[in-house]
Amino acid sequence: MNKYKLEKNLKSGEELFFVSAERTSDCSWMRSPLMNKSETRRMISGLFNNSDYKKVNVQSETTLNEFVDKFDENKGEWVKTHYTLREQQFGAIYQDDYEFFCEEFGVNLDEIQKVKSARAEYEKKVAESKVL
């Protein structure tokens, strides 16, 4: 997706989607973030009609912004982790890209009810603890 479409989609206020699928011919993944509904429909239709793709997955970008919960056995309760569902499912690079494009296009993560990953701060704390 080109930068113009990314910017337009991010600033649109529409619900955006992340589409992924596995390509069987070369065992690779196709991933396409920040797509609006019409782009998502077209892509899904193409993937479902192409026998080279399987495991087609569509996620709401809003859902992918949520922090992952995990059960803390010491506390006996569920707690928020330092990473988002996007990072858990697709890797940190996709969270970094998401935050980069939001920043580059002047999209305030708070205004669109999105979160910024706490991973960078967490990694900094881990690095500092190793120095001590």
Query: CB-hemisphere CA count at 13 Å for 58?
Result: 15
Q: Tell me: the pLDDT tens digits for 54-96?
A: 999 999 998 998 888 999 899 999 988 888 899 999 988 888 8
Q: Is the pLDDT of residue 121 over 90?
A: no
Higher pLDDT, 74 or 129: 74
Q: Is the pLDDT of residue 111 over 60?
A: no
Instruction: Tell me the sheet residues that pair with 79.
Output: 70
Sign of CA dihedral 56, 44, 84, 119: positive
Q: Is the pLDDT of residue 113 over 70?
A: no
Q: Is the pLDDT of residue 110 over 90?
A: no
Mean pLDDT (whole number) for 22-44: 93
E strand spans, the chain: 17-23, 28-35, 53-60, 67-72, 77-84
CA gyration radius for the chain?
A: 17
Q: Is the pLDDT of residue 37 over 90?
A: yes
d(CA 25, CA 107): 38
Q: Is the pLDDT of residue 108 over 80?
A: no
Higher pLDDT, 13 or 21: 21
Instruction: Determine the pLDDT at residue 1.
Output: 61
